[in-house]
Structure 1
Amino acid sequence: MSEHTPDSGTFHGGCHCGAVRFRAQVDPAQGSVRCNCSLCARMRRWAAILAPSAFELLEGEDALADYRFGRGVARHRFCRHCGVHVFAQNHVEELGGDYVSLSLACLDVAPQWLAAVPVAYLNGRDEDWERPPAVTAHM
């Protein structure tokens, strides 16, 4: 596994078993998000929000399963072999329209890189994209 230092650029990553691999353009200065919606809260999900053009699935389309809930807008993609939630494809107008929500835990990076990424908290539970949730310590 190649690891990167805290700068922006092209990164690689994948699921736990290696069946799913991707390449993504990630700028840690753009920060990351943790959401309190029912799914993200249960997964303790930590994600980078990317333009669809900044994400490329390299292998494993056949290993991916989908999960949708609520209005079914978000397409949550996870490896059907190891169960790791790798990314989601979604559309939220308040967040700029179409985007890929990439699980930062799936990047092939050093822990120091992850530690340097700023985090913003989203109130997906109430679909209040303007204000963070009142309580975030558990996220």
Structure 2
Amino acid sequence: MLETRHGSCHCGQVRFRCTLDLAPQGERSPQLRPGPWYATNLRCTCSYCRKTRIWKAHVPAEAFELLEGAGLGRYRFGSGTIEHCFCRNCGTTTFSRADFEVMGGPFVCVNVARLDDVPFEALDRAPVRLEDGANDDWEAIPAHAGWL
């Protein structure tokens, strides 16, 4: 079910609110946008996700609100099309932002592990799809994924 959730970095200098659905397949609300990115949560093997251990939930930009950004740092690499955000004070990765037409326009990848008000049981049940970002094959399951 779609729910409004709150998230933050470790020290609280970066706080956000978003609307997303962490329920397993068969219990989920209709997607806010079409596409596989909005139908589940993702763990990826690309260089950034591998180093930061981010657990991504895509939400349309209009379903995300930055509540406190005093410590917000931004990082871009490669083509620079994705803005990776983190807290400059505590170093916690919080979310990433981008705008890709194929994904319906502006969106945010919330780091599910930074959500403050999700019960552990809901996190246990949240679906996770693995993606092979290390080989730019986003539809493939990585050959080595046990560590994700």
The TM-score normalised by the length of structure 1 is 0.87
Unaligned runs of 5+ in 2: 24-38
Task: Assess if the C-alpha contact under 8 Å between 1:12 and 1:107 holds in 2.
Answer: yes
Q: Deviations over 1:78-127 (max 9, x none)?
A: 00111101000024455444321100011012211111100011121222
Q: Distance in 1 between matches of 2:63 and 2:9?
A: 18
**Residue in 1 aligned with 2:15?**
21
The 1-side partners of 2:103 and 2:61 are apart by: 13
**Do residues 101 (structure 1) and 109 (structure 2) align?**
yes
Using the aligned pairs only, state the percent identity: 44
Larger mean Cα displacement after TM superposition, 33-42 or 95-104: 95-104
Q: Which residue of 1 aligns with 2:42?
A: 33
The match for 1:65 among 57, 68, 73 is 73
**Preserved contact between residue 94 and residue 129 of structure 1 (Cα < 8 Å):** no
Question: Which residue of structure 2 aligns with residue 10 of structure 1?
Answer: 4
Which secondary structure does the structure 2 equivalent of 1:28 belong to? coil
RMSD, aligned α-carbons: 1.6
Distance 1:13 1:56, change over 3 A: same
Q: TM-score, normalised by structure 2?
A: 0.82
8 Å contact from structure 1 (residues 123, 132) kept in 2: yes
Quick one: distance in 1 between partners of 2:140 and 2:111? 22
Q: Distance between the aligned counterparts of 2:100 and 2:135, measured in 1?
A: 13
